[in-house]
Structures are given as structure tokens and as C-alpha cells.
Structure 1
């Protein structure tokens, strides 16, 4: 095997293992929202997208993430993540989360949108804070109407 082929195999192998497609921790008070450019400070409402190529987009709210998708090729997305109301700073799968829009839980961009890991958690908070519950698909349809 000549030197050029060996070099190509090494470069290809390194590039395969170098493509990280996992979430990044959000640095609150430092990172900016990719959509609205505000500094991300709210540890309950932040969100993140990770593309299939490993590019990470951070958002100060789930509504910014959803609005960003209007101008982005969603087929390139590997992970949609939102912070969990009950576990601030913890990113959960946004497509499996349950969402509550309640005027009694302010969010950074004023949509009053909060993500919950389970429907039971969302329902429990809805009983005390009122509002409307959504799944990922119904939320996207609601915000994109």
C-alpha cells in the first residue's frame, strides 16, 4: 500500500471518530441564542439543536428553537433538546417532551412555553398554573399557524 493510500485511510478514520453529534452544555450568562441573539440566562427554558454533522445551535427558549426551524433544513437535525421545568439545566428530548403554555409561567420570549419530561409532570403543574398542554407536533402546528 502506498503512502498516499495510507494517509487517506488515516484521515478518513480520524474524521469518522471526530464527528461529535452530542449535546453541549449551555453556559448560562455566556452563550447567546442563535435565533434572537439574547444571552441565555434562564435555566428552565433554554433549548438546543444538534445537527447530523455535529453543529450545535443554542437557544434561550423552545420558541426560539421552533422559530429557527422555519429557516433551517430540519432534515439536517439529529437532536432537538429542551430544558426540563422540573430539572433546570437538564436537556431532554424535545420531540418526546410535553409542553405547557401558561400565562403563569413566564418564558424569555413571551410565549409562556415550558417543556416537561412527562405528561404527568405537565398535568400536575397545569392544575396549579392553568394553561394548555401540547405534544411536539401539536406545538409546532400551533406556533406555525
Structure 2
């Protein structure tokens, strides 16, 4: 019964295949996690036209207004409108590992803590909240259009203002303030 299965060639091939499986397993293990909160260093991926907003369950179709965050449990929350995300955060009160917004002018991801936010009724956003973000204060002031009711704030200021009831999110059609 030595035949083919007992041959040195078969044994070498079996050892090589076994070694290959060990390498593949290790690569999968590294790719799938074990990295602590490394996931929070990058924004959650948003597939435009496919991913659904965590707040309103509508498909995200405009990346420049989209926002997202990671929970500390590693769950991604995606939104079609920054104002929608802010309202969702206020209601859910879950711990976030990182929060991300897009610069409305460039479409580039920006950590929310580094961005500037503009609330202005004249700004058109997917859910009608009028909240957009940009990477710098100068661009934020330009988007405010010198309108007295427009607000230019940092992330901390807008989150704190909403929590204190000093900043009210306007809601477009289909949304209501709660």
C-alpha cells in the first residue's frame, strides 16, 4: 500500500500545501482584526448608491454630504447628511471611537474634530438640515454667506450646543425634530 500516497513526492506536496494553508490562515487572522482600535484610524467605507443611512434608511447618494463614525465596539454608522448624523448621535448616545465627515467642497474625508461646520438654511443637504463641513475655518465662513442666522462652529461646539438645546437642527421633509 506504499504506492503514490507513500512516495516522497506526495509527502513533500502535502507538506507544502499544509504550509500554504498556515500562511493563508495567518494572513486572514491579521487582516480580520486583532488590531485593537486600529479600525478607527480610517473612516468607514461608504459605497455610494448602495450603503444605507443609519438614521433614515435611505441610500447614500451624495458623498460630499455623507458622514460616518465607528463605535467603540467596531460598528460603523453611515449617514447621508451630517445633520442627520448629529441628530442620531444625540438620540443614541453611544460611545464613538472616531467620527468622520466630508469636506463639502472637495469630497475628502476629515476627522470631525478637525473640521469646521456650517449651519445655514440656505445650504441644500440631502435631508434638508443645512449642515455641512469643511476642512478649514476660512471656507466655513465663506459658506455662511454673511447671513446673521448662519452658524460656524467646531465639532465640539455643535455637539455641545445640540445637547444643551442651544443649537436646533432644522429638519427637512420627512424628518422631524425630537
For the aligned pair, the TM-score class normalised by the smaller chain equals: 0.7 to 0.9
What is the correspondence of 1:1-145 to structure 2 with a 5 Å cutoff?
Answer: 16-17=34-35, 21=39, 22-74=42-94, 76-88=95-107, 90-127=108-145, 131-144=150-163, 145=165
Structure 2: state its 5+ residue gaps.
Answer: 1-25, 166-178
User: In structure 1, the residue corresponding to 2:142 is in which secondary structure?
Assistant: helix
Distance across 2 between alignment mates of 1:125 and 1:66: 19
Structure 1: state its 5+ residue gaps.
Answer: 1-9
> TM-score, with normalisation over the residues of structure 2?
0.64
After superposition, the CA RMSD in angstroms is 2.5
Matched residues, number? 132
Rg larger in 1 or in 2?
A: 2
User: In structure 1, the residue corresponding to 2:101 is in which secondary structure?
Assistant: strand
Q: CA deviation at 1:53?
A: 3.3
Contact 1:104–1:129 (CA<8 Å) still a contact in 2? no
Q: CA deviation at 1:51?
A: 2.1
Distance across 1 between alignment mates of 2:93 and 2:152: 27
Of the two structures, which has the highest relative contact order with CA contacts closer than 8 Å and spacing of 6 or more?
1
Distance across 2 between alignment mates of 1:102 and 1:71: 22
